[in-house]
Structure 1
Amino acid sequence: RAQICPPGRSLIACVFCCLQSSGKSSVLESIVGRDFLPRGSGIVTRRPLVLQLHKTEGGQEYAEFLHAPRKRFSDFAAVRKEIADETDRMTGKSKAISNVPIHLSIYSPHVVNLTLIDLPGLTKVAVEGQPESIVQDIENMVRTYVDKVK
């Protein structure tokens, strides 16, 4: 299918999905060259994160969220906190997931133009505080995103 892509933008999109707690965050942060993702045990990624990397010609690295369009983040610890806060805003402090994505753009001379999609890790059983349908919910979410980038 044909798509129009502005100069400097990427048509390449990679969906990151594997088992929970298998190191997805470390791989994504290695690609970006910054620590910016929430960490913890169990299910930490509870909403899709659509991460658009934009190569710049120098200057300071910064991040912007679609839900906070006029706010630039140059402190990547603040990016981590914003992802966690925005996740909790939609899902509460529970272990539930949401299909509503968080859109984050990172501008840096150290990245290539690329879109990465971080999804909740696959699991085999629901744990306390999760709906019984979480296994199927995550699988459905993964299929939806994989089908979009085919």
Structure 2
Amino acid sequence: MRFFRILLTIALAFNLSNCSDKEPETTKEKLLQAIDMFNKAFQDGDNAVLESMVTENYVHTNGNSKPIGKEDWFNYLNEREDDIKSGNLQVMEYELSERRIEFYGNVAIVTGKISVSNKKKEGIQKNEYRITNIWVNEKENWKRAGFHDGKIK
């Protein structure tokens, strides 16, 4: 419940009139490009790109942990990036499907399913997650402001 209060606060904190009704396809296309770029950077462990694509007050919540902020999430990402660079982790698949986008001015809520396949020395691990992302349009750039996932059994 706290996560949804945070989502609502983020949505209300932004001026919802910045998104032009005249160019919804352009707005949507830019968001789709940002999502694809973000997911590719996550798959590759490219933290520099990820850093440029999240808000300063970013909130990240996994289904099995409490919400964390940007600094704690990047601490995790730095360890993950080291594992990818050393070859201890190979992300074979990171795919968003069943994507749905709802726009609220310059805020977008993106839902979908993530399929991920990782290869470690223990073997290949496959998982699927239902996700909710909050994206905000800051100065003509879409940035992710919030994330939540729940593992699909």
TM-score, scaled relative to structure 2: 0.27
TM-score, scaled relative to structure 1: 0.27
Which structure has greater strand proportion? 2
Q: Which has the higher contact order (CA 8 A, sep 6+)?
A: 1
